[in-house]
Amino acid sequence: MSKETYELKAEARERVGKGSSRELRRNGLIPAVIYGDKQAPISIAISTNEITKRIHGGGFMTTIATIDVDGKKYKVLPKDYQLDPVRDFTMHVDFLRVSANSNVTVEIPVHFINEDKSEIKTGGVLNIVRHTIEANVPANQIPDAITVDLEGLKIGDSVHISQIKLPKAVTPTITDRDFTVATIVPPVVDVVEDDAVAAEADAADVAEDEDKSE
């Protein structure tokens, strides 16, 4: 199941816009919004350090949180965040309100096990087609990951979604095809090395031709 829930402190913000957002960031805060559940959105400011720590801690997008906004608490699920393209710090976060009956759409990470019990051990290469799987799931049952067992797979085999034992209540959003999650492919040939060998052979041929012409 998803990581243990956590609580964040926030304050409501009246002013919005680029100027207000820049001022918040100078003061160690991030502008954010809480929306959804058929209620009006709430603009908030939240600690940059706390959000950064949660993002880098893993599971941020699949873990329910409680946000305390000036004493009023909201159950939320992070739905999106924006990073500065140059300095790579968090610029903004969107939170979706959730309740015990909420169903949400999330990107669940895919984890692979038993690589050493497949032909990967003897030279095959795991080609991951999907690092995450988008799925519908009850908000209180979001798993940390979807596990794919590679035991017994050979070079040339593919893993389709129908072959994976999904966690309880997880339903992929793609339903019109049995999509591929990963394949095991032959080892990649070292093209650079082959080119070097070919170049040496060509040079030797040229030298031999020159010797014959003398």
DSSP state string for 95-146: EEE--TT-EEEEEEEEEEE-GGGSTTTTT-EEEES-SEEEEEEEGGG--S-E
CA within 13 Å, CB half, 92: 13
Place of tokens 């816009």: 17
Angle subtended at Cα 129 by Cα 166 and Cα 190, rounded to the nearest 5 degrees: 140
Please measure the distance between the N-terminal and C-terminal CA atoms of the chain and give it in whole angstroms: 79
Residue 201's pLDDT is what?
A: 58
Q: What is the pTM of this model?
A: 0.76
Alpha-carbon torsion (114, 116, 117, 122), positive or negative: positive
What is the rounded distance in angstroms from the CA atom of residue 59 to the CA atom of residue 79?
12
Q: What pLDDT digit, counting tens, does each position of 134-190 carry?
A: 999 999 899 999 999 999 999 999 999 999 999 889 999 999 999 999 999 998 765
- The β-bridge relationship of strands 103-113 and 6-12 is unpaired
Q: Using an 8 Å Cβ cutoff, are 158 and 132 in contact?
A: no
Residue 130 tokens read as 């999907």
Residue 194 tokens read as 């082959």
**Residue 152 is which amino acid?**
G
Q: What pLDDT digit, counting tens, does each position of 29-88 carry?
A: 999 999 998 899 999 999 999 999 999 888 999 999 999 999 999 999 999 999 888 887
| Residues 129, 130, 136, 142, Cα dihedral to 10° | 140
Q: For residue 192, is pLDDT > 90?
A: no
Q: Using an 8 Å Cβ cutoff, are 191 and 133 in contact?
A: no
Q: What pLDDT digit, counting tens, does each position of 97-139 carry?
A: 998 789 999 999 999 999 999 999 999 999 999 999 999 999 9
- Stretch (H or E) spanning 198: helix 191-213
Bridge partners of residue 98, in order along the sequence: none
Give whole-number Cα distances, 76 to 41, 139, 158, in Å: 12, 9, 37
Residue 195's pLDDT band (cuts 50, 70, 90): low
Residue 92's pLDDT band (cuts 50, 70, 90): very high
